[in-house]
Homo-oligomer: A and B are copies of this chain.
Amino acid sequence: MNNRLYFKDNKRLYEDKKRLFSKIEKERTHIGYYNLPKQNINYILDFADSFDKSIDTIVVLGIGGSSLGAKAIYEFLKPMEELKRKLIFFETTDPINISNTLKEIDISKTHFLVISKSGGTVETISIFKYLYALNQNSNLYTFITDRGSNLEKFAKEIESKVFYLPDNIGGRFSVLSVVGLIPLALCDIDIKLLLKGADEISNSFFNDGKFKDILLNKAIFYAKNQNRYNINCLFAYSQTLQYFTEWYVQLWGESLGKKQRHSSFNVGLTPIGLIGPKDQHSFLQLIMEGTRDKSITFIKLEKFEHQLNIPNLSLKHLESLDILNGVSFHQLLTMQSDSIIEALTNEQDIPLDEILLPCVDAKSIGALIYYYELLTSLVGELLDIDTYNQPGVEAGKIILKKKLENL
């Protein structure tokens, strides 16, 4: 993976960078996600290897951090790899969705993963109750939750298999733990390679590799300019990264939208996910001519396996577009993103950078995920917030509980 920053490196930041790096090194001793790339995954591989071969569909019951990460990786790899099993997500209480998702499922070939860190997520438990009322065979279900949660106790009661989240890992930082690895391994996705990708970024950052300086620079730039550039767009030039942008939106928004520790002021940076070239025809005008409140990170794939070319065909009256003839769609896609980057660079006051992913494989997405987790931690530290909690969602939960009790 490569990352080029088009905004200026500030040489005077030497002390800032040193301080920030040492804070993150300290954080690494107690925040769990940092060490996931080096975890032992043999028990997960064994579980997947010995899994019932007649099961061809895995259904994840989970929402937010319990589904977005696995979905991002699965949807990234699915168009390119022959996967052993299909992954389906139940992530809403919307009745239209529940009915339609149920229609897709052949229960005799399906296994359900019930994923809830706290064990009491209203959406997940509601859907689980619905399914469990239909089929109480406990072999149909595997549970992933915190050790000691009520969901664990229930799972033990019905003698289902349970996996535990490691300590001190928040939902949105849990994709490289059992939360993501179990569903992905069951689809035969190479989770070793996924962690290898993450580990390369980790090594590079913590052992003076190129990503140390890149990430420190980028984080300091975002934090210093938080009031001017309060919106951070991720513009991915591959449809396969659609769900990755959704994962990014949760990670960035829920981590960085907080009251400050020492002032209790509201701060935050707003994430937006875009897909090229589609969103050139939607959001680009706003970036180019709207208020200068956005930074843009482009993501490009260096290699596509699908070699499709625009044919050498001249259409009468459309001869001006013969310049497209013989060009591969990948070449066109790359030229499209390069053209937009050039046009935006000419504007001078739109901060840009560019991430290059070698290809569509587990290693690339593992690296990209860890890169964004690190960047989020760095910016969170600079904003003087707790990156890892989400107290703002509690108020709504308390009101909902009262409404339910009053029914």
Give the CA-CA distance A115 to B133 in the complex, in Å.
48
How many residues of A sit at the interface, in one of the four size bands?
Answer: 35 or more
A87 to nearest B CB, angstroms?
Answer: 17
Give the CA-CA distance A321 to B340 in the complex, in Å.
51
- Asked if A308 and B98 make an inter-chain contact with CB atoms under 8 angstroms apart, the answer reads yes
Give the CA-CA distance A391 to B288 in the complex, in Å.
9
A77 to nearest B CB, angstroms?
Answer: 11
A371 to nearest B CB, angstroms?
Answer: 20
The digit string for A333-376, where 1 denotes a CB below 8 A from any CB of B, is: 10110111011001000000000000010000000000000000
A63 close to chain B: CB less than 8 A: yes
Interface set, chain A 291-329, CB cutoff 8 A to B: 291-294, 304, 306-308, 310-311, 313, 315-318, 320-321, 323-325, 327-329
A125 close to chain B: CB less than 8 A: yes
Q: What number of copies of this chain does the assembly contain?
A: 2
- Asked if B289 and A68 make an inter-chain contact with CB atoms under 8 angstroms apart, the answer reads no
Checking B93, B278, B339, B405 against A63 with a beta-carbon cut-off of 8 angstroms, the contacting residue is B278
- Asked if B259 and A289 make an inter-chain contact with CB atoms under 8 angstroms apart, the answer reads yes
The digit string for A235-269, where 1 denotes a CB below 8 A from any CB of B, is: 00111100000100110011011110000001111
A315 to nearest B CB, angstroms?
Answer: 5
Give the CA-CA distance A365 to B291 in the complex, in Å.
30
A71 to nearest B CB, angstroms?
Answer: 11
| 9 residue pairs, one from A and one from B, having the closest CB atoms | A268-B290, A64-B281, A257-B286, A257-B290, A288-B392, A133-B311, A250-B282, A153-B317, A289-B392
